Structure 1
Amino acid sequence: MPVRSAMGAYGSPMPSSAYTRWTELNDEQLTVNNVQVVLKAISDDVWVSVACTDRLLDDLSVQRATLDIGIERSHPATERVRNLLPPEGLTEEHASSETLIEYFKTMPADTQLCHFRAILLKRLDRMNTFVEISKELPSIPVGEDEEAVDEDPEWEDDPWAETNADPVHPRSATCFSALRILFLRYGTYLWPYRFTILEHIPAYANPTDYHFLLPSCDSLTNIERRTDSIEWRPEKDVSELPEIQLAVQNSDALSGFDTVLDSQPSPEVKVGPLDAEQLSEWYQKRVEHIMQVTGMVDVVLTFIQHGASQNVPHLDELGEDLSLLSKLVYDAPHGPESTEDWTLTQWRAMDPPAIIRAYLKFSTPLSLPHDITRLVMPYLFVLESRVERAGRPDPQLSNRLLHQYILEAPLDMALSVFEASKPTLPVAQRIIKQEDDMVRLALACLYGSDSLREWSTMSAIFECLPVWEISADDNEEDAADTTITSLGAFVTPSTSRPKTTPSDLLVFFTPLPLSSLSRALDILDVHLESGEILARWSVPAPLRWFLQSSNNISEQRAWANRMARRAGGNEDELTTQEDWEWLLEDMLKLAGETKIKGALGLLSRDEIVRIYFSGLLSTGKFEIAKILLKKTTQFEFDSETLEDICIACSHEFYDNAGSGNYKFGEMKLAYDCLDVPPLSDRLLKEREFIEATSRLSSFNIMSHPGIPITPIEIRLTKDRLSLVSRVLSSNADAYKHTEVILDLVYKLGFRDDIVAEVKALAMLADTALQVEDFDRAYETSQRMIDTVLNLRATLMGIDDPRLSETSEVCWVACFQLGRQPEFHDVDKKMLLLGRAIEICPPDRLHDVLTAWRRLEREDLEIRQERLETSHNGTVKSVQPKNTKSLPKTTASSLQARLRDFHMPSPPLLSTPDARALASKTFNTVAANFPFSVGQRGRSQFSQLSQGDERSRSGSRRRADGGDVQTQASRVFSKGIGWLIGAEEDL
């Protein structure tokens, strides 16, 4: 308030120099001394009070001196007003506001003094508060409130720098001690604004620092408790009494003065106290706000714990959640790349198994037991308490959740839990308290695991399990074995359950009594040992396989084969005799005859040895096999069994061979494998077949155009003589090597097979015929004839199917060559036809004899012409010498057959019907060939018949004849397919 205002209202004649001096002094010039000197020189108390009120100074000592003088000059007036009050104080019974108003109207100076005194006292209290707050504030020198920033000298003249940037203010600090002083001195005034102030406190601030400001609840009234305050003056001054203030305002003595005292706008606040539910709601919203803004679980936990300590309801469960979440955020182990930010909403959305997994996500086998004890167990205890408070007690909740984690954990983690639950430990220290629960969990974990390598870990789990001395009778053992058998069916995959999980197995093991569990542990012991053996030889199987195969001999046999074969094919291939002896020892151990059968318990010892020896041979270790056969007493094979094994392995090598050459690769292994046992006819036959395969491959036979025939195709060929025919048809000079071809026939499995030999000779003769090598064809035919005649002599009087089969082949081949028009040696042709007449069946004699007659007539004509030419036209009678040229036995046989055969008259033979009849007859003969003469044979016969017609008419052209040349070329191009059943026409 301006001093001139006071003077204008109450200007009394005073020294003008004192007033002028005060008004001329500015705030910076005022000192404690000049304040006292100048103001004491002025006698007007009202003016001095107004002057002191008008000054607000930065210097605390000068301000205090000013306030003290103003309060001192107003004191007499307040004493006069106090005298109007009764000694007990102002009450409605002793005085009324009307009395005070009348007094202040009559005494305006006292009114003004009371008014300004109240202002000065309030300012003095605030100044004292400021002084006390200043003692709590940290001392931050000017210019040091911000962290120094190192600047590069090169950027001192940065052209992009902001030259008009706002000045940097010192950073603000959360000075809760100062705020506490304010609430201590002005709690009554600030309490209505408590929530507005709380909203401006940073979310990251620790609630412990401002707990004095947090609302609390009265446990008796369930209403918010007001905060207590300690004012600077225990009793209010007379000028501060509400009645005095009201009377001063109503006295009209302050006209001309500014009566608004340090007023400020008031925000909308909840002045009245909140009830318990409202307080709980506020705390929960504040927690959500802090978590959303900062995610600092420790802050909200401290915040909610304070609220719970102040009797705010419904915060216990929230505090539990925050406490457990705090363990997850701050106490649980974390990985180097763990960056997950947890929120209360996320925590509440997780189910208990997920929370347990989160607690132990970064635990190691070494730290897991301790982490379960300090992190998981408190959480499980809280869950049990909650369901109890909810009226739904569940005593097995903790065990169920802990067991679920163990079943889902890796084996090394599960091992650490079992080690921390050993029966040798005190019960209080065990993670799994009950021994039977421990056994059930271990069985479920092990049989439900897919691991193929962690056998040491699984064995270590088994070592942690209790040993029960349970004497079970036979019935109980049978019941336990029945249970295990049922378990084998239970773990076998099905459409409804493709895989059995450890949790499924735990359900299966839960109802089992101790006797069955003890028996299951004995079986587990055997299975673990079997699993280690299988893993040692690179054929590991999961533990559940031992249950599935316990009654499946086919499965056990298949695994034994894998073991015997894969053991020598892994990276650490068995190369020494000792290694293979060790393998045999382990295989026999798996088939050991004990009360509890091993992995191969359904297989006999002999079968195990056979499988083992087959596996040894399959690796190509034939020398080791020979040594073991002589040295080891385990191989008590009879010769037939040993040959069966070797032949089977040889066939396997053979079928997998890509080349037929038995000098290298799989075919060499197939050949050498047959050398392991002593040589026998059976083994010799197998070796010869391999040699034949190698020779066939050398002829470059094609299975398809451009694709050489493979060994497996050779073995699968039903008619192996067809392979010989393919050699002859694909190699122009092969027919010249009769002995080579016959040796090939013998090694193909036809040794001592006279029928196959005759057929092979027929094919050789026919091939020579196709290329018009008639001399070689005749020689081969002679060998074939001798073979057939020797067989007939040997089997004379015996009904043997070989006679008819070889005779059929022989007479047809002789007939073909004897009918060949390009073959000009009539004597040899007559001999061949004579043999055909001798060997052919009676119903074919007519056809052959017709050809004989025709060839005989042709020979007579030729001789007649030759004689006429040689004797200058003199004709002499010439007897045919063809019959004389035949061997005596053949001639006599031929004459005997001719006597029994009634030939039609010669003219009839030249008729078309006779020729048709002969063609039909030969077709019938060809149809009965043992190697199925096809269309080519019939076509050739037709061509030969046409050639005969040309001969009878005197047209006997050689290669220059067009028809004969064309036919011969076509015959040569087709090879001897007619002999083996080819159906294509020329």
Structure 2
Amino acid sequence: MPSSAYTRWTELRDEELTVSNVQDVLQGIQDDLWVSAACIDRLVDDVTLQRVILEVGLERTQPALERVKNLLPNESAKGEETSTEALTEYFRELPVDARLCYVRGVLLERLDRLNTFVEICKELSVMPAEEEEKETVDEDPEWEDDPWAETGAGLATPRTTTIPSPITLSDFLTTDLSQSAFILAIHQCIGSLRALFYRHETRLWPHRFTILEHIPAYASPTDYHFLLPSCDSLTNFEQRYDSNEWRSEKDVSELPIVHNAIQDFDTTLAVIDPTPLLPVPEAQADAIDAESLSKWYQKRVDDIIEATGMIDIVLTLIQHGASQNVPHLDELGEDLSLLSRLVYDAPRGHEPDEDWTLTRWRAMDPPAIIHAYLAHSTSLSLPHDIAHLVMPYLFVLEARAERSGNPDPELPARLLHQYILQTPLGMVISIFEASKPTLPAAQRIIKQDDDMVRLALACLYGSDSLNEWATMSGIFECLPVWEIPADDNEEDAAEMTISSLGAFVTPSTSRPQATPSELLVFFNPLPLFSLSRALDILDVHLESGEIFSRWSVPAPLGWFLRSSNNAAEQRAWANRMARRAGGSDDELATQEDWQWLLEDMLKLAGETKIKGAFGLLPRDEIVRIYFSGLLSTGKFEVAKNLLRSSPQLNFDGEILEDICLACSHEFYDNASSGNYKFGEMKLAYECLDIPPLSDRLIKEKEFIEATSRLSSFNIMSRPGIPISPIEIRLTKDRLSLVSRVLSSNMDAYKHTEVILDLVYKLGFRDDIVAEVKTLAMLADTALQAEDFERAYETSQRMIDTVLNLRATLMGMDDPKVREASEVCWVACFQLGRQPEFDDVDKKLLLLGRAIEICPPDRLYDVLTAWRHLEKEELGYRQERLETNHNGAVKSVQSKNTKSLPTTTASSLQARLRDFHMPSPPLLSTPDARALASKTFNTVAANFPFSVGHRGRSQFSQLSQGDERSRSGSRRRPDSDDVQTQASRVFSKGIGWLIGAEEDL
């Protein structure tokens, strides 16, 4: 054999190979083993060329095959057992045949793979999409014989496009078949994979589950359904795939006995088979049982959902598995079917889609799943979504309960009702509209009329909505109308039921509000007549609720139940309605609007057997509440017009006064300023002009005017904070307000008439005692300001007032006389004993009036002061007479006698005749000074207002020995205080009075 032939083959590159030069070169080589080994070693990607190479190699192994075949009996050729020792001994004697047999087995395997590769490539040839669409659309049997159609080969054969194979021929021939299957599965070459399984099922069967795992999770199971495992219903084990191997009978070189003999002869021949490119996963050669198949399907479902979330994919997978007799997939298929409806059929919102997994689905309870189905439904789509999404789910739950041996026919209705009770009224109305009794039963969502009524009552009375009255009325209109006759017992039972319902919905510490679910529990046992009665009441409550909403005082529907037996609650809401209506954003401006409000409030009283929202209030009380609300808005002209024109506002005079006074008090109490020319105080004043004037109204108006006057004096409640009107009204002793005016305003005492008018308007117009007290305060304030003349004039007016009062009431027995007299004599005593008051005549007159008015137990104190004053005056006159004329003493005495008015003198004489007192020496005892001090303190304490102590001014302090004239120079005691002087004068005054009486 020439060596040039070997060299030529080895130097011939793959791209230079052709069918002819392969045959030419290899035919020139006589070594069969070398040629067959060279055919194994040379791999190309051209199918035709590779086939020629393989066929040449097989042809060179044929002689050795014949020799081995002759060594085997015919039975062995058919696969029967025979002794391996003889064949092994033969291979030792002729090792070339052993190697040729092994090479032949490899060449046959590669030839089979080559044929499979051809089929794989055919499966990769597809029709272009546009051609496929054109063929589908344009193909019409009526135009098969179209004469205008062009003919030609191109039109008869559609064009196809070949997808490049994910694996080359050379790799396919040398790589383990399982690895090639993995590659085809990854690239979703499903047709090619099917061809591979069909031709090499025996080799691929152990790796079937691993190959399925390499198919992308998003691939549709219908594409690779032939690979999915199935279960034999007879054996309850896995079924094998259909297959058709390339050769039905094995070649002699492939027989086990030959393989064993070759291995015994030379173990190195095993390296001729190439190593796989990738490690082969664990194989499963045996068919698994039905339970294992079910677990595999469930795991596959979980993997696909976790990887892609594509529910339709896993649903198709489960449906296929169930059709292949795999057990325990029915319930899983139900879950996936229901989950697919949620993912693909349920309405979607604007936010990104949620990630749904089977694990999440199974962890949810039925109410949560129902809410998930309807989470994005609208009021228009809700009935359809319930019928096509929720109801199938509820029926599945019912079927499962029945299969489990715990049938629950009420389960669907119960879960649906639970959803309805938790849904807003705007959505619920569409459910009730889709459940009207006029619709066919099959189309109704809520099948039973009584269930519909109970749900409606629970939803409406359990809602706290304040602005959905049109929706509530729409729900009510969907309810059935029943004409149910009833006896007295049933009516009584119905009334008791409604009363107990009012108590049931009343909030408590343990339950702030009755929920719709709790209300449904209450309504469930009610008979039809009670439900019918409840519907009649609901009609009235809905109308009342619309009226409340119209006037900006909406109340939840449950309020009408709670207040049905509570007059105080109804009264409070009537006041709120009357006042809120006028103060709302849409303020009532015309008389017609207010008349409309009145009619609505009277309508709420209810004139039928069913009481309205204000059914416990008398009509006249509602009218009073309404009119009070009208007055509270300040629209007094509208109020006056309605009083004249509206027949409902027919008040008695006293009732009208009461209403106006109450409203005026409200304005007054809420006023921030006391000025009645503007603001709420002005409204309080003008409100009193609506009814005819009466004493009560005049008195209230004067009090408002007094409040305004007090505010003008800037009286402070606290430092820097002016007194408010409400503080003025709440002051118990209103004369104290006058005292505060006098103490906080330096010149206020000068305006006697203004102050007295203020006192009159504060409510003391006919109160002489209050007038006397006011004059006493004015006199004292003038005294504090050292305005003695004004203090004297005020005291004179006070004296005249008291004397007139005493003359009118005839004596001292009357309490008013005693109180006025007490104030008067104390004030006169204060001013009469004032050292800085220079007019002795006036002071003596004041002390004389004090003696005339004071009670007997106080006479000693006043007389002591008088005596002291008289002695001081006599001493002063004595000095003047001695200085001027010796005979002036009699003139001075005569003048002193005339210093007392005739009336005063006579009164003093009368009182002194009745006054039995000790001799003058007793009065001059050492205790006289203390007694005078005590008496003065006692008298001053009886003043009903505060009298401040006033010390001497710097102009009245003179050094010892100084003198002053009657206008300002008088000798003062050395260091005696006022109380000492008063005690001294008092002791001497009584003696002087007794002596003067004797001289007269």
Measured against the shorter chain, the TM-score band is 0.7 to 0.9
- Could you say which residue in structure 2 is the equivalent of 1:67? 54
List alignment gaps of at least 5 residues for structure 1: 1-13, 146-168, 969-986
TM-aligned CA deviation for residue 68 of structure 1: 2.9
Secondary structure of the residue that 2:939 maps to in structure 1? helix
Name the structure 2 match of 1:847: 861
- Counterpart of 1:984? none
The residue number in structure 2 matching 1:296 is 310
Q: Tell me, what secondary structure is at the counterpart of 2:717?
A: strand
Q: 1:413 aligns with which of 408, 419, 427?
A: 427
8 Å Cα contact 1:650-1:670 kept in structure 2: yes
Specify whether residues 824 and 134 from structure 1 end up closer, same or farther in structure 2 by C-alpha distance, changes over 3 A only. Answer: same
Does structure 1 conserve the Cα–Cα contact (< 8 Å) formed by 2:184 and 2:190?
no
Task: Tell me the equivalent position of 2:387.
Answer: 373
- Alpha-carbon spacing, 1:16–1:839, altered in 2? closer, same or farther (3 Å): closer
Partner residue in 1 for 2:321: 307
Distance 2:973 2:719 in 1: 32
Distance in 2 (alpha carbons) for counterparts of 1:423 and 1:235: 77
Partner of 1:587 in structure 2? 601
User: 1:110 deviation in Å?
Assistant: 6.5
Q: Which amino acid aligns with 1:484?
A: I
2:413 is matched with which residue?
399
Q: 3-state SS of the aligned residue for 2:48?
A: helix
Q: Is the 8 A contact 2:669 2:725 kept in 1?
A: yes
Q: Which residue of 1 aligns with 2:131?
A: none
Q: Distance in 2 between matches of 1:22 and 1:725?
A: 141
Which residue pairs with 1:920 in the alignment?
A: 934
Q: Which residue of 2 aligns with 1:574?
A: 588
Q: Report if the CA contact (8 A) 2:186-2:214 is conserved.
A: no
In structure 1, C-alpha distance between the alignment counterparts of 2:971 and 2:847, rounded to whole Å: 26
**Secondary structure at the counterpart of residue 771 of structure 2:** helix
One-letter identity of the residue aligned with 1:120: L
What does the per-residue CA deviation read over 1:518-549, in whole Å, with 9 as the maximum and x for residues that have no partner?
Answer: 11111111111111111111111111111111
- Structure 2 CA distance for partners of 1:108 and 1:835, relative to 1, 3 Å: closer
Aligned to 1:163: none
Matching of residues 478-627 of structure 1 within 5 Å:
478-627=492-641
Q: 1:889 to 1:874 in 2, by over 3 A?
A: closer
Match of 2:839 among 811, 825, 841: 825
Equivalents in 1 of 2:256, 2:105: separation in Å? Answer: 11
Provide the rounded CA distance (Å) in 2 between the counterparts of 1:326 and 1:421.
Answer: 27
8 Å contact from structure 1 (residues 422, 430) kept in 2: yes
1:664 equivalent in alignment to 2:664: no
Contact 1:735 1:768 in 2 (8 A): yes
C-alpha separation in 2, matches of 1:144 and 1:216: 29
The answer to whether the 8 A contact 1:817-1:832 is kept is: yes
Please, which moves more after superposition, 448-457 or 90-99? 90-99
Q: What letter corresponds to residue 126 of structure 1 in structure 2?
A: R
- What letter matches 1:354 in structure 2? A
The answer to whether the 8 Å contact 1:858/1:951 transfers is no
Equivalent position amino acid for 2:52 in 1: A
Residue in 1 that maps onto 2:331: 317
Q: AA paired with 2:516?
A: P
What's the CA shift for 1:909? Answer: 3.5
1:633 to 647, 653, 660: 647
Alpha carbons of structure 1 residues 620 and 94: separation in structure 2 relative to 1, 3 Å: closer
Aligned residues between the structures: 923
C-alpha contact (below 8 Å) 1:860/1:880 kept by paired residues? no
Letter in 2 for 1:59: D
Q: Name which of 740, 765, 783 aligns with 1:726.
A: 740
TM-score (norm 2): 0.86
Moved more, 844-853 or 42-51: 42-51
Between the aligned residues of both structures, percent identity stands at 75
Q: Is the 8 A contact 1:867 1:875 kept in 2?
A: yes
In structure 1, C-alpha distance between the alignment counterparts of 2:458 and 2:65, rounded to whole Å = 93
The 2-side partners of 1:478 and 1:128 are apart by 95
**Counterpart in 2 of 1:716?**
730
- Whether contact under 8 Å (1:742, 1:757) holds in the other structure is yes
Give the SS at the match of 1:687.
helix
* Residue matched to 2:697: 683
Q: Partner of 1:25 in structure 2?
A: 12
Deviates more, 1:174-183 or 1:263-272: 263-272
1:136 equivalent in structure 2: 123
Work out which of the residue numbers 264, 267, 272 in structure 2 matches 1:260. 272
Distance 2:373 2:344 in 1: 11
Residue number in structure 1 paired with 2:45: 58
Distance change (3 Å), C-alpha of 1:965 and 1:243: farther
1:780, distance to aligned residue in structure 2 (A): 1.1
Paired amino acid for 2:722: P
The answer to whether the Cα contact below 8 Å between 1:728 and 1:735 also exists between their aligned partners in 2 is yes
> Which residue does the alignment assign to 1:192?
206
- Structure 2 letter corresponding to 1:765: A
Deviation at 1:494, TM superposition (A): 1.1
Q: Does 1:383 align with 2:397?
A: yes
CA distance in 2, matches of 1:98, 1:184: 37
Structure 1 letter corresponding to 2:224: Y
Query: Which letter maps to 1:925?
Result: V
In 2: Cα distance, 1:694 partner to 1:403 partner: 66
Provide the secondary structure at the position in 2 that maps to 1:703: strand
8 A contact 2:852–2:911 mirrored in 1: yes
8 Å CA contact 2:106, 2:273 repeated in 1: yes
Q: 1:240 to 1:828 in 2, by over 3 A?
A: same
Partner of 1:174: 188
The 3-state SS of whatever aligns with 1:568 is helix
Per the normalisation by structure 1, the TM-score is: 0.87
Moved more, 278-287 or 615-624: 278-287
Q: 1:534 to 1:134 in 2, by over 3 A?
A: same
Question: For 2:473, which of 433, 444, 459 is the aligned residue?
Answer: 459
SS at match of 1:208: coil
**SS of alignment partner, residue 212 of structure 2:** helix
| 1:86/1:94 contact within 8 Å kept | no
- Counterpart mapping for 1:206-355 below 5 A: 206-246=220-260, 260-262=272-274, 264=276, 267-355=281-369
Report the Cα distance in structure 2 between the residues aligned to 1:316 and 1:528, rounded to whole angstroms: 50
Q: 2:796 aligns with which of 775, 779, 782?
A: 782
1:442 aligns with 2:456: yes
Does the CA contact (< 8 Å) of 2:124 and 2:164 recur in 1? no
> How many Å apart are 1:92 and its aligned residue?
7.7
Q: Over residues 758-803 of structure 1, what are the superposed CA-to-partner deviations in whole Å (9 max), with x where a residue is unaligned?
A: 1111111111112121111111111111112222222226953222
Measure how far apart 1:103 and its partner are: 7.4
Q: Report the more deviating stretch, 452-461 or 796-805.
A: 796-805
Residues 886/184 of structure 1: CA separation in 2 closer, same or farther (3 Å cut): same
Residues 39/826 of structure 1: CA separation in 2 closer, same or farther (3 Å cut)? closer
Q: Any idea what the Cα deviations from partners look like across 1:952-973, whole Å, max 9, x if unmatched?
A: 99999879979999999xxxxx
Contact 1:883 1:891 (8 Å CA) reproduced: no
User: What letter matches 2:737 in structure 1?
Assistant: L
Change (3 A) 1:99 1:928: closer
What residue is the counterpart of 2:751 in the other structure? 737
1:111 is displaced (CA, Å) by 6.0
Amino acid at match of 1:562: R
1:474 and 2:488 aligned:
yes
Q: Is the 8 A contact 2:69 2:77 kept in 1?
A: no
Would the aligned equivalents of 1:909 and 1:915 in 2 still touch at CA under 8 Å?
Answer: no
Task: From the superposition, tell whether residues 629 and 967 of structure 1 become closer, same or farther in structure 2 (CA, over 3 Å).
Answer: farther
- Which amino acid counterpart does residue 111 of structure 2 have in structure 1? L
1:959–1:965 CA contact under 8 A, matched in 2: no
Equivalent residue for 2:914, pick from 900, 903, 918 = 900
Separation in 1 of the partners of 2:619 and 2:23?
125
CA distance, structure 2, for counterparts of residue 53 and residue 838 of structure 1? 159
Q: Say if 1:388 and 1:954 are closer, same or farther in 2 by CA, change over 3 A.
A: same
Which moves more between the two structures, 43-52 or 674-683? 43-52
The AA in structure 2 aligned to 1:420 is A
Task: Answer yes or no: is the 8 Å Cα contact 2:806–2:812 preserved in 1.
Answer: no
- TM-superposed deviation, 1:821: 1.8
Asked if 2 retains the 8 angstrom alpha-carbon contact of 1:926 and 1:932, the reply is no
Deviation at 1:647, TM superposition (A): 0.8
What residue number does 1:772 align with?
Answer: 786
Give the aligned partner of residue 979 of structure 1: none
